[in-house]
Amino acid sequence: MDYAAFYQRSIDAPEAFWRDEAGRIDWHTPFSQVLDYSRPPFAKWFVGGTTNLCHNAVDRWVATRGDAPALIAISTETNTEKTYTYRELQREVERCAAILLSLGVARGDRVLIYMPMIAEAAFAMLACARIGAIHSVVFGGFAANSLASRIDDAQPKLVFSSDAGSRNGKAIAYKPLLDEAIRLAAHKPQQVLLVNRGLVPMQLEPGRDVDYASLRQQHMDASVPVTWLESNEMSYVLYTSGTTGKPKGVQRDVGGYAVALASSMQHVFCAKPGETFFATSDIGWVVGHSYIVYGPLIAGMATIMYEGLPICPDAGVWWRIVEQYKVTRMFSAPTAIRVLRKHPVELMRKYDLSSLKAMYLAGEPLDETTSQWIADELKVDIIDNYWQTETGWPLLTVARGVEHTPTRLGSPGKPLYGYRVKLLNEATGEECGAGERGVLVLEGPLPPGCMQTVYGDDQRFVDTYWSTISEHQVYSTFDWAMRDADGYYFILGRTDDVINVAGHRLGTREIEESISSHPNVSEVAVVGMEDKLKGQVAMAFVILKDARPAESAEGRAALERDVMAVVDRQLGAVARPARVLFVPQLPKTRSGKLLRRSIQAICEGRSPGDLTSIEDPASLQHIEAALA
Ligand code: ATP
Ligand code: MG
């Protein structure tokens, strides 16, 4: 089908369009209204219809595909692999749901899930969905204070956790972090349900902590009917990654989300029941919600849940999984591909990857070097897709299930159906023409699947995201972008990160892209630093592939000149960083996103700010050392 026409129909006749898409899921009672936008910017989709995410992800398939694989839980940390069929998954979810009910969890109650990537975490999410409880998954291993602030925000009745996660063969005790978080939090969950993996000893607090395995024994034959929920009831709260500051609690509905996932599995991910989907993310992030747990299951696929690093036992592990489980679609992040690129390609080439049809990448700009490398190695479609926790599903990409739109290096593609995308000039509010840079915004109503509001704070939703520009109420993505003459979008960086050098506005992404084309550059972060003369100057921090040339002061100076020359040549002297400094590591969030705001703060001699989501605080010392 012609994608342009498909897209246009979603914009011109959204109700007819989404009514059709809604047919991809099961409804218990039909909706009476496709869209209620009587109170903008709050959109209600499929009003009056009742459905259930767990039913659509699990029960719906049991009759026809009960013995087909549903969840494949692989841990290279504990060396375990287990496949659950749809029927087995349903049994486990019902057991888990029965346990939750027995502990007093009711429809509308929040359940905070603080878990490693083990099958029980997926059971817990699906069990919550089944009984109408609202899950809030917090990335496992987040420090106590991060967890405490999310406990206070979500006010869970119960916390579902585990003794430990594991990373690189080392157990990371979760229980002490959780105990500390509950001590710090003002809100006290009544119950803590714990999966004991036997990785580290843990102390149970009488009256509060309960053991999952023993309760499961009591509920082996549990049968828990699905609770039918009105489409606009809440399914979950999920916090944004915290890259730019305090995370926002994204609140999601039931029906709109189920439809958006069923629809995107079809039109973007070309899902086929029976095939295997492998998203390498974590359930603590939105990709994990949409494309590890709910999306593939709603589409009747087998989904892989992987605990482990991409490089353990060696950098071939993902490809071993692809071969063994005949993965057809993979979803990962550029940061992971950059890690793999540092390892010998033989580890990848020794596996039979013929089942694989496409690799989807999201979360951060996909630089051309990385994109080209992985395309050359895999010889499959590399599909960059741009979206946010807030949107729940891709916003810019190529909808391969609709038409074979060619991809363009450096661009995630075009607006996905349902999204009314605009690029606005920040100063004038005018729409940008081709080649002009502006803020990427969406006109309301946001399509199904997008956030309903900020959890518990409608005003914060309006104040944070919405503004009125030239009479249009628009949602800001806070990303800076450009569109070319053929309608392809290019993300240039976050609006906070735009650098203003002597009146020229530059996206950090553009400079980073240019620097990463230098053959010895493995990774780079560019930030703006205050400068008396020019307003701001760009500072570049580079991780080298081969660090030996940077061991001496002369070597560093030569490399710095080299990198500057690349930028001069590609973007012009105005974009040339004031300094190019070499570091062994860059500060990143737990989800692998560059923490430019912290680097910038250090450059400007300020405190690095809220560091709750940082992966390794030592990385900041490398920045300080490089500047000294
Ligand atoms: P916070 O909102 O808490 O600061 P965050 O924005 O990193 O954190 P996410 O919702 O996980 O939280 O990330 C969405 C952001 O990631 C986008 O707004 C964009 O900046 C970036 N991003 C995601 N996908 C892409 C992509 N394909 N290309 C470029 N940037 C991307
Ligand atoms: Mg964000």
Closest C-alpha among 406, 405, 365, 357 to residue 384: 365
Q: How far is the CA of 247 from the centre of ligand 2 (A)?
A: 8
pLDDT higher than threshold 90 for residue 502: no
Please give the Cα distance from 104 to 98 (Å, whole number).
10
Other residues' Cβ atoms within 10 Å of the Cβ of residue 545: 12
pLDDT higher than threshold 80 for residue 15: yes
Q: How far is the CA of 457 from the centre of ligand 1 (A)?
A: 22
Question: Residue 474: CB within 6 Å of ligand 1?
Answer: no
Please give the Cα distance from 328 to 86 (Å, whole number).
19
Q: Using the atom order of ligand 1, give the atom closest to the CA of residue 591.
A: 11
Strand segments (E) across 455-534: 466-469, 472-483, 489-494, 499-501, 504-506, 521-531
Closest-CA residue, ligand 1 atom 23, reads 363
- Lowest-pLDDT range, 90-94, 142-146, 435-439? 142-146
The 10s digit of each residue's pLDDT in 361-392 is: 999 999 999 999 999 999 999 999 999 999 99
Using the structure block, give the residue that is written with the tokens 């500390």. 180
Helix axes 255-267, 14-22, angle to 10 degrees: 90
The DSSP 8-state label assigned to residue 445 in this structure reads S
- Amino acid identity of 231? S
Question: Residue 244: CB within 6 Å of ligand 1?
Answer: yes
Q: Give the model's pLDDT for residue 133.
A: 98
Q: Left if phi > 0, otherwise alpha if psi is -120 to 50, otherwise beta: which for 466? A: beta
As given in the structure block, the two tokens for residue 351 are 């596996």
Domains of the chain: 3-308+385-465 (3.40.50.12780), 502-627 (3.30.300.30)
pLDDT category, 609, cuts 50, 70, 90?
Answer: confident
pLDDT category, 245, cuts 50, 70, 90?
Answer: confident
Closest-CA residue, ligand 1 atom 3, reads 242
The 10s digit of each residue's pLDDT in 305-355 is: 999 999 999 999 999 999 999 999 999 999 999 999 989 999 999 999 999
Q: Using the atom order of ligand 1, give the atom closest to the CA of residue 361.
A: 27
pLDDT higher than threshold 80 for residue 433: yes
Question: Residue 385: CB within 6 Å of ligand 1?
Answer: yes
Q: Using the atom order of ligand 1, give the atom closest to the CA of residue 389.
A: 10
Q: Give the model's pLDDT for residue 183.
A: 98
Please give the Cα distance from 411 to 402 (Å, whole number).
19
pLDDT higher than threshold 90 for residue 205: yes
The answer, as to whether pTM is greater than 0.90, is: yes
Question: Residue 512: CB within 6 Å of ligand 1?
Answer: no
Using the structure block, give the residue that is written with the tokens 């069923």. 262
Closest-CA residue, ligand 1 atom 17, reads 388
Alpha-carbon Rg for the chain in angstroms: 24
- Among 250, 477, 479, 512, the mutation site with the greatest number of ligand 1 atoms within 8 A of its Cβ is 479
Q: Using the atom order of ligand 1, give the atom closest to the CA of residue 286.
A: 11
Question: Residue 240: CB within 6 Å of ligand 1?
Answer: yes
pLDDT higher than threshold 80 for residue 541: yes
Question: Residue 481: CB within 6 Å of ligand 1?
Answer: no
- Among 138, 243, 382, 488, the mutation site with the greatest number of ligand 1 atoms within 8 A of its Cβ is 243
Question: Residue 270: CB within 6 Å of ligand 1?
Answer: no
Please give the Cα distance from 236 to 125 (Å, whole number).
9
**Region 499-525 average pLDDT:** 92
Question: Residue 300: CB within 6 Å of ligand 1?
Answer: no
Q: Give the model's pLDDT for residue 592.
A: 87
Looking at the DSSP bridge assignments, the partners of residue 411 are: 408
Please give the Cα distance from 470 to 428 (Å, whole number).
9
Closest-CA residue, ligand 1 atom 11, reads 241
Q: Give the model's pLDDT for residue 613.
A: 83
Q: How far is the CA of 256 from the centre of ligand 1 (A)?
A: 22
**Region 557-562 average pLDDT:** 96
Contact 172, 164 (CB under 8 A): yes
Question: Residue 232: CB within 6 Å of ligand 1?
Answer: no
**Region 423-444 average pLDDT:** 93
Helix intervals (H) in 359-452: 368-378
Closest-CA residue, ligand 1 atom 15, reads 388
Ligand nearest to C-alpha 491: 1
Average pLDDT, the chain: 95
Q: Give the model's pLDDT for residue 588.
A: 94
pLDDT higher than threshold 90 for residue 472: no
Helix intervals (H) in 25-172: 53-54, 60-65, 86-102, 119-131, 144-154
Q: How far is the CA of 378 from the centre of ligand 2 (A)?
A: 30
